C-alpha cells in the first residue's frame, strides 16, 4: 500500500482550497478556542449591561470579569490553533519531506472522544542535523502504525515541522500533484471545522448588532453610551 509521502511532489506543491481551509480551521485548539472566546465575550457583555442598568456597586461590578477567564482561555487556544494551522498550511505547500521516528510518548490529562491525548516526541534529520518535535493526538494508531513517519519541515527553519499523519484529515495526491481529501470524510471534517467558527462569529455579530440597536429596535441597547 502506497503512503502519501510516496506521491508528494517537490515544493511548492498545490493544495486544494478545501485542504487549506481544513488545516487552518480544523483541530481541537481552534474549535475549543472559538467556543470559549464566544462564551467569554457574551458573558462579559451581558453581565456588564445588566449591572450598569441596575446600578450595582463595585463589588457586584467585579462579576463581569469572571467570563474574562473564559475569554482569555479561549483566545489562548485560538491563537495556538491559528498558529498551528498557518504552519501546517505553509508546510503542506512548501515543506521539505523527511522521515522521523517516535522516540518517546507521554499521556496528557486531556481526552477527546474518550480517548487520551498523547504527546509523541519524534526525531528526524534535516541537512544531517537531528531535530525533535512533539505532536499531540488522540488518534494513536496514526503515529504507531509505522516505524518511520513522514515529516514536512521548513528548510529555512528545520525546527518548524509537522508529522503528516497528525493532520485533521487524510490526504491523497491527484494526477496534477495537488493535495486533495482522500474520500468523503475529509469534506465532512471541513464542513464541521468551518461550522463552529461560522456559528460563533454569527452569534457575536448578532449580539453586537442587538446591543447597537440594529438587529432589534431597542432603546436600552448600548447605543445610548455613544449619545451625548
Same domain, residue pair 59 and 107: no
Non-local CB neighbours of 138 within 8 Å, separated by 6+ positions: 111, 112, 113, 115, 116, 117, 118
Of the candidate ranges 107-121, 164-178, 211-225, the one whose mean pLDDT is the lowest = 211-225
> Does residue 2 sit within a domain?
no
Range of the domain at 48: 10-94+181-228
Is the pLDDT at 170 greater than 80? The verdict is: no
The C-alpha cell of 200 is what? 460563533
Q: What is the pLDDT of residue 193?
A: 80
Is the pLDDT at 154 greater than 90? The verdict is: yes
The neighbour count for residue 37, using CB atoms within 10 Å, is: 22
> Does residue 86 sit within a domain?
yes
Same domain, residue pair 14 and 78: yes
Same domain, residue pair 82 and 32: yes
Q: What is the CA radius of gyration of the chain?
A: 22
> Does residue 5 sit within a domain?
no
Same domain, residue pair 35 and 73: yes
Distances (CA, A) of 176 to 5, 10, 92, 173, 180: 15, 12, 15, 8, 11
Of the candidate ranges 33-47, 100-114, 171-185, the one whose mean pLDDT is the lowest = 171-185
Torsion over CA of 61, 66, 70 and 73, rounded to 10 degrees? 100
Q: What is the pLDDT of residue 22?
A: 85
Q: What is the pLDDT of residue 55?
A: 59
Greater model confidence, 59 or 193: 193
CATH of the domain at 105: 2.40.50
The neighbour count for residue 104, using CB atoms within 10 Å, is: 11
Q: CA 208 to CA 227: how far, in whole Å?
A: 17
Is the pLDDT at 69 greater than 80? The verdict is: yes
**Number of structural domains in the chain:** 2
Same domain, residue pair 104 and 212: no
Indicate the pTM of the whole model. 0.76
The C-alpha cell of 107 is what? 499521556
Average pLDDT rounded to a whole number, residues 146-153 = 85
Amino acid at each position: 500500500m502506497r503512503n502519501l509521502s510516496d506521491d508528494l511532489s517537490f515544493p511548492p506543491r498545490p493544495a486544494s482550497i478545501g485542504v487549506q481551509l481544513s488545516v487552518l480551521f480544523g483541530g481541537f485548539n481552534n474549535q475549543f478556542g472559538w467556543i470559549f472566546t464566544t462564551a467569554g465575550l457574551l458573558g462579559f457583555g451581558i453581565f456588564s449591561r445588566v449591572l450598569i442598568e441596575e446600578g450595582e456597586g463595585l463589588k457586584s461590578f467585579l462579576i463581569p470579569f469572571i467570563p474574562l477567564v473564559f475569554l482569555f482561555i479561549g483566545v489562548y487556544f485560538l491563537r495556538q490553533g491559528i498558529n498551528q494551522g498557518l504552519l501546517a498550511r505553509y508546510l503542506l505547500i512548501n515543506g521539505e519531506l523527511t522521515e522521523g521516528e517516535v522516540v518517546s510518548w507521554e499521556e496528557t490529562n486531556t481526552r477527546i472522544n474518550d480517548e487520551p491525548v498523547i504527546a509523541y516526541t519524534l526525531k528526524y534529520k534535516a541537512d544531517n542535523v537531528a531535530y525533535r518535535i512533539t505532536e499531540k493526538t488522540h488518534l494513536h494508531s496514526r503515529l504507531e502504525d509505522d516505524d518511520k513517519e513522514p515529516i514536512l519541515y521548513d528548510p529555512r527553519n528545520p525546527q518548524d515541522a509537522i508529522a503528516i499523519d497528525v493532520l485533521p484529515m487524510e490526504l491523497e495526491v491527484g494526477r496534477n500533484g495537488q493535495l486533495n481529501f482522500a474520500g468523503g470524510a475529509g469534506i465532512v471534517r471541513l464542513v464541521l471545522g468551518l461550522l463552529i467558527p461560522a456559528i460563533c462569529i454569527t452569534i457575536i455579530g448578532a449580539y453586537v448588532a442587538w446591543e447597537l440597536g440594529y438587529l432589534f429596535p431597542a432603546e436600552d441597547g448600548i447605543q445610548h453610551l455613544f449619545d451625548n
